[in-house]
Amino acid sequence: MVVQHVLEQFRRKFSYFVKQIDNMDALFEAQFSPLSDSGRLLSKCGKCLRYMKYISTQPARLYCGTCEEVYYVPQKGTVKLYKELTCPLDNFELLLCSMPGPEGKSFPLCPYCFNCPPFEGIDTFFGAPKTGDSTKLGKGVGMPCFLCPHTTCPHSVIAQGVCACPECSGTLVLDPVSAPKWRLYCNMCNCLVSLPEGAHRISTTQDKCPECDSTIIEVDFNKKTTPLKDGATLHKGCILCDELLHSLVEMKHGRSFSRHGRRGRGRGRGRGRGRGSTKQQDPKMSFRDF
């Protein structure tokens, strides 16, 4: 009897609140601004193709009034529309996020992929805490384009990745909007590599270096400052193996990778006292002379 009485009381309370929900909404609207009236129009939703509003107050997020869904974005830096380009997976318009500071990264991201990563096996998310389970996404934690392994998307790490990072297990990715101070940045640490400054255009190609398997980049130099002979401006090469490009790049926030000789001991030929042997290193992981 007691249980039935309590259940009946809760049922009546629930029915009462359902009938009075309009009054509750009116009370909240009188005290607070509705989410649909906040923010500014920024990008299109891939589901309804209507514009979503960007709400900059913490936590920063996008809100689709038609679908009534919220998509969180990185909580630091500025967010703007990225050339009205769309994600090939879900048709959401891409955003460009720029981290604060002179050495801050700039990278595109898809709002839907950032909140609902479509690929399994990605165990490191941008903005995830250094401790704890990074696979549990929180506000401002997700998968930007520089972590996306999509094979045909022109913004993924497959298309924009150049070579392995010498500091960690990440990949150096071309910053798409860093002109005229072109650079590469690691998608996992704060390593930066400055490319030839003042070039009109720097882009990745589909070709790979036969020696280190890094991606070949194409540089369109300024005709007034080109280092090429006869005033040529277009040059393709690997930043690790091409002597010209290697002499024009500079590493920041990273240690140098150089070859160190080791003294050998024993009676073997060429290994007497004072004779050194050079340890062979994978050129893909070597940034000599930085």
**String of DSSP letters for 169-221:** SSEEEE-TT-TTS-EEEESSSS-EEE--TT-SEEEEEEEE-TTT-PEEEEEE-
CA distances from 158 to 51, 85, 151, 152 (A): 29, 18, 6, 8
> Number of folded domains in the chain?
2
Are residues 62 and 144 located together in one domain of the fold?
yes
Are residues 97 and 184 located together in one domain of the fold?
no
Within a domain: 213: yes
Spatial separation of the C-alpha atoms in residues 86 and 107, rounded to whole Å: 14
pLDDT at 284: 47
Tens digits of residue pLDDT in 170-225: 899 998 888 888 889 998 888 888 888 888 899 999 999 998 999 999 998 888 88
Spatial separation of the C-alpha atoms in residues 35 and 31, rounded to whole Å: 13
| pLDDT at residue 136 tops 60 | no
Are residues 85 and 109 located together in one domain of the fold?
yes
Spatial separation of the C-alpha atoms in residues 154 and 157, rounded to whole Å: 9
Work out the angle at residue 188's Cα, subtended by the Cα atoms of residues 185 and 194, and round it to the nearest 5 degrees. 15
Within a domain: 185: yes
Peptide bond into 129 cis (omega under 30): no
One-letter amino acid for residue 193 of the chain: V
Tens digits of residue pLDDT in 6-58: 999 999 999 998 888 877 777 766 666 666 667 889 999 999 999 999 988 88
Residue range(s) defining the domain that contains residue 188: 159-254
Answer positive or negative: Cα dihedral of 192, 196, 199, 203: negative
Are residues 145 and 190 located together in one domain of the fold?
no
Name which of 138-152, 188-202, 249-263 the model is least confident about. Answer: 249-263
Are residues 143 and 205 located together in one domain of the fold?
no
Are residues 104 and 92 located together in one domain of the fold?
yes
Within a domain: 2: no
Peptide bond into 118 cis (omega under 30): no
| pLDDT at residue 82 tops 90 | yes
Are residues 44 and 142 located together in one domain of the fold?
yes
| pLDDT at residue 282 tops 80 | no
For residue 290, name the pLDDT band (cuts at 50, 70, 90).
Answer: very low
pTM over the 0.75 mark: no
84: phi > 0 → left, psi -120 to 50 → alpha, else beta; which?
A: left
